[in-house]
């Protein structure tokens, strides 16, 4: 079948309105229109697939309601993340700001979310990028203003270009503005400008936003306690991370390069549907393990090396974070085994201290005590255990804390203390890592009054890290599928 496409092309590409004469061309036009419609439908399906990687839509509503109860007559403003340049005109893969995502589930850049519980008509307002078929062909699907309003449950939605014009109506009657400075300098200035405008109108109106309060203080305590749906997401992220670690251990052997192990890990991440690494994978053999954030991963592994792998995937917006250390040739040397036993004992005792009601720092202090006792037994530290801990003389061997919150961010939102002298109390729904280690760098300088480290210990770096969910009666180790007992690591 031969079809004259010229009138069609002229019409669509060059906007020439020639009369269309033949019926076949009309059929073709209808076909093109349907293809365009189909493409839109496909994009919607993609959107729905992405939802499977997140919590149900109703949960975002509950989160906003909970936050709005806290802000009363205030207005809270959240800015989306921006695209970051990788090089020249290539951008990094977009990842939404965690606070923004937590409240909206919306994952496009150039957006602003506003919560104005005191506003008569609109309590939740979205500013988003408008539909732009031409741009979308290049940079990907945009939901657009109208669909964003419906799909994301906003009371009003506007194109982001109308922000300056439309935002003030939601701030005008607020007694306080809630906003986190520092993510976008231009937008920071916009917010300050609106605040000044509000204050300038006080003499005439009799009301104004008297302060700007940081949103971290009202939102992050919510993010710290995970919902059932979030826990499910964390189970996926940690299960894939665990699977990758198990594959890495099977694969690793003397002669392989660290990056080859990294490739095995990240292959599993992607192959199992995770987005990719939650943070740059650390694959550190030999003395590289003494560098906490070693990510070069370019060394060839040798006989008798230990391999420390700290890697986890981002699954949807939730993250796994696991560390294991094992002998690449399947057998610990006596010195490696001695240090490993101490770190493992410290980790197991620290894990036992993770339960509701315990102050956050308890598992760290437990780990430090076990590590120090072990190092004293080996003669690597000398003196009274309490004094060594108090004066932090163990720090050349163990310089970091034993864990952190885990969730939408790898180092998740929320404080560890409420006041200078008061630690957070663990409660069901908290998710945290437990990750003690001992690092005997080749050039380790002992603390004052402590002995020099004999050569045979130098270059050993060991860390063991699991992800724990605090439950009603204790904890659940989400990453228990990765073995860590010596018998399971030797072959």
Minimal CA–CA distance to 91: which of 104, 82, 79, 100? 82
The least distance separating Mn ion from the CB of residue 463, rounded to whole angstroms, comes to: 9
- Closer to Mn ion at the Cβ: 110 or 321? 321
Total number of residues binding Mn ion (CB under 5 A)? 2
> Is the Cβ–Cβ distance between 54 and 29 less than 8 Å?
no
Examine the residue annotation and report whether 439 is marked as an active-site residue of this protein. Answer: yes
- Closer to Mn ion at the Cβ: 325 or 433? 433
Burial call 89-118: b when 16+ CB within 10 Å, e when fewer? eeeeeeebbbbbbbbbbbbbbbbbbbbbbe
Angle at 478 between CA 48 and CA 434, to 5 degrees: 125
Residue 215 lies near Mn ion (rule: CB under 5 A): no
Examine the residue annotation and report whether 170 is marked as an active-site residue of this protein. Answer: no
Q: Which of 176, 235, 404, 458 is catalytic?
A: 404
Q: Which of 89, 121, 421, 452 is catalytic?
A: 89
Examine the residue annotation and report whether 435 is marked as an active-site residue of this protein. Answer: yes
- Phi and psi for 298 in degrees, rounded to 5? -120, 15
Residue 433 lies near Mn ion (rule: CB under 5 A): yes
CA gap 399, 285 in Å, rounded: 19
Examine the residue annotation and report whether 400 is marked as an active-site residue of this protein. Answer: yes
- Closer to Mn ion at the Cβ: 278 or 287? 278
Burial call 300-326: b when 16+ CB within 10 Å, e when fewer? ebeeebbbbbbbbbbbbbbbbbbbbbb
The least distance separating Mn ion from the CB of residue 321, rounded to whole angstroms, comes to: 4
- Closer to Mn ion at the Cβ: 177 or 233? 233
Q: Which of 87, 185, 293, 419 is catalytic?
A: 293
Burial call 6-25: b when 16+ CB within 10 Å, e when fewer? ebbeebeeeeeeeebeeeeb
Among residues 97, 258, 264, 321, the one that binds Mn ion under rule CB under 5 A? 321
- Closer to Mn ion at the Cβ: 258 or 466? 466
> Is the Cβ–Cβ distance between 440 and 458 less than 8 Å?
yes
Examine the residue annotation and report whether 293 is marked as an active-site residue of this protein. Answer: yes
| Stretch of 156-164, 325-333, 344-352, 432-440 contacting Mn ion, by CB under 5 A | 432-440
Examine the residue annotation and report whether 491 is marked as an active-site residue of this protein. Answer: no
Site string for Mn ion, 269-308 (x = CB under 5 A): ----------------------------------------
> Is the Cβ–Cβ distance between 128 and 148 less than 8 Å?
yes
The least distance separating Mn ion from the CB of residue 435, rounded to whole angstroms, comes to: 5
- Closer to Mn ion at the Cβ: 97 or 321? 321
Residue 325 lies near Mn ion (rule: CB under 5 A): no
The least distance separating Mn ion from the CB of residue 280, rounded to whole angstroms, comes to: 12
Which residues would be at the binding site for Mn ion (CB under 5 A)?
321, 433
């Amino acid at each position: 079948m031969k079809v004259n496409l010229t009138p069609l092309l002229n019409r669509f590409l060059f906007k020439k309105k020639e009369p269309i004469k033949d019926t076949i061309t009309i059929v073709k036009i209808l076909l093109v229109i349907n293809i365009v419609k189909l493409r839109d439908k496909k994009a919607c399906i993609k959107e729905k697939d992405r939802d499977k990687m997140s919590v149900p839509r109703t949960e975002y509503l509950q989160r906003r309601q909970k936050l709005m109860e806290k802000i009363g007559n205030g207005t809270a403003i959240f800015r989306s993340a921006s695209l970051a340049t990788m090089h020249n005109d290539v951008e990094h893969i977009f990842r939404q700001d965690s606070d923004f995502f937590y409240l909206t589930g919306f994952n496009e850049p150039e957006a602003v979310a506003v919560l104005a519980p005191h506003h008569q008509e609109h309590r939740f307002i979205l500013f988003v990028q408008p539909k732009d078929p031409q741009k979308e062909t290049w940079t990907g699907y945009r939901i657009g203003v109208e669909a964003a309003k419906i799909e994301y449950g906003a009371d009003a939605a506007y194109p982001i270009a109308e922000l300056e014009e439309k935002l003030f109506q939601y701030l005008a009657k607020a007694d306080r503005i809630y906003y986190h400075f520092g993510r976008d300098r231009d937008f920071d200035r916009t917010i300050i400008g609106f605040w000044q405008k509000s204050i300038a109108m006080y003499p005439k109106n009799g009301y104004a936003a008297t302060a700007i309060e940081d949103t971290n203080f009202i939102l992050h305590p919510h993010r710290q306690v995970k919902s059932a749906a979030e826990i499910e997401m964390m189970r996926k992220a940690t299960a894939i991370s665990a699977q990758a670690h198990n594959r890495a251990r099977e694969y690793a052997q003397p002669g392989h390069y660290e990056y080859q192990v990294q490739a095995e890990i990240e292959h599993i991440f992607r192959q199992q549907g995770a987005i990719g690494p939650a943070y740059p994978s650390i694959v550190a053999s030999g003395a590289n393990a003494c560098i906490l954030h070693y990510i070069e991963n370019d060394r060839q592994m040798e006989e008798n090396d230990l391999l420390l792998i700290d890697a986890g995937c981002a699954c949807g917006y939730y993250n796994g974070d696991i560390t294991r250390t094992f002998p690449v040739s399947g057998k610990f040397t006596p010195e490696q085994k001695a240090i490993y036993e101490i770190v493992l004992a410290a980790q197991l005792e620290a894990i036992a201290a993770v339960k509701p009601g315990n102050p956050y720092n308890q598992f760290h202090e437990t780990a430090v005590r076990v590590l120090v006792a072990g190092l004293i037994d080996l003669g690597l530290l000398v003196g009274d255990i309490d004094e060594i801990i108090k004066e932090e003389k163990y720090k050349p061997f163990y310089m970091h804390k034993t864990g952190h919150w885990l969730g939408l961010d790898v180092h998740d939102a929320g404080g560890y203390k409420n006041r200078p002298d008061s630690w957070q109390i663990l409660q069901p729904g908290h998710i945290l890592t437990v990750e003690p280690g001992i690092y005997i760098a080749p050039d380790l300088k002992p603390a004052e009054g402590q002995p020099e480290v004999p050569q045979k210990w130098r270059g050993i770096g060991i860390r063991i890290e699991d992800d724990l969910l605090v439950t009603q009666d204790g904890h659940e180790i989400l990453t228990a599928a990765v073995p860590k007992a010596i018998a399971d690591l030797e072959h």
